[in-house]
Amino acid sequence: MNVRLTEEQKIKILNADDLYKVMQQVLLRENKIDRNKEHFWIVCLATNNQILLIELISLGTVNQTLVEPMEVFSFALQKRAVKIIMVHNHPSGELSPSDIDIELTDKMQAIGKFINVPVIDHLIITEKSYYSFAEKGLLAKIMQDSEYDLTFSQIELLKKQLDKAELRKAKEMAKKMLDKKYAIEEIAEITGLSKEQIERL
């Protein structure tokens, strides 16, 4: 679910504190019942670290939420994120990352590295404070010590998602070029689409 942001909240992220201020507002906007459940969001960033959007991926129970890495990156690719930050809350108020948090971060950074959409931080937040994997040095340690290997099926799925994202991007470019009266042959050469694909747009 896309999180509605004001223009003032679509800031350039310079550090974890910048993002926490936005995410604290997002969390406090929830009703009291939902605030006592774990949320998992991804923050999609542009090249200059400006927030493109924030998506709520999962809403769980008081002490856990289920996250499927492929779902996260499929969404990030669709939205053309250049990099992402993961954020989840701990309703208990405890900021220390759990073993599950660390394992998930390991999986996510490995997939992000493979598809060139890096995970640049993972924030654990409460209503009053936060823990940044990047600022505490934990993200760098996880990346250095990572033993997570993508399975063949995961690699194949990621390749398909990348191909779909590239095709969608090429078609959007071709449509704009058609509107500007470019020749089909020229569009095909620039976008890599076939003449038949362009004619069907």
Tens of pLDDT along the chain (201 residues) come to 567 776 777 778 999 999 999 999 999 888 776 778 899 999 999 999 999 989 898 887 655 667 877 778 877 887 788 999 999 999 989 999 999 999 999 989 988 988 889 999 999 999 999 999 999 999 999 999 987 777 677 777 777 776 776 777 788 888 988 998 899 998 888 888 888 889 888
Distance CA 120, CA 143 (A): 11
Q: Are residues 74 and 170 in the same domain?
A: no
Residues in the chain: 201
The answer to whether residue 157 is domain-embedded is no
- Could you count the other beta carbons within 10 Å of the beta carbon of residue 164? 13
Strand intervals (E) in the chain: 2-3, 39-45, 51-59, 83-89, 119-125, 130-132
Burial class of residue 163 (count of CB atoms within 10 Å of its CB; 0-12, 13-18, 19+):
exposed
Distance CA 48, CA 113 (A): 18
DSSP 58: E
Q: Phi/psi at 182 (nearest 5 deg)?
A: -70, 150
Q: Phi/psi at 192 (nearest 5 deg)?
A: 85, 0
Q: Are residues 137 and 170 in the same domain?
A: no
Q: Are residues 99 and 182 in the same domain?
A: no
The answer to whether residue 78 is domain-embedded is yes
Q: List CB contacts of 104: < 8 A, sequence separation 6 or more.
A: 67, 69, 86
Q: Quick one: angle between helices 152-179 and 184-191, nearest 10? A: 150
- Expressed as residue numbers, the domain containing 177 is 165-199
Structure tokens at 85: 């930050």
Using only C-alpha atoms, what is the Rg of the chain?
A: 19
Q: What is the pTM of this model?
A: 0.73
The answer to whether residue 155 is domain-embedded is no
Q: Are residues 46 and 125 in the same domain?
A: yes
The answer to whether residue 33 is domain-embedded is yes
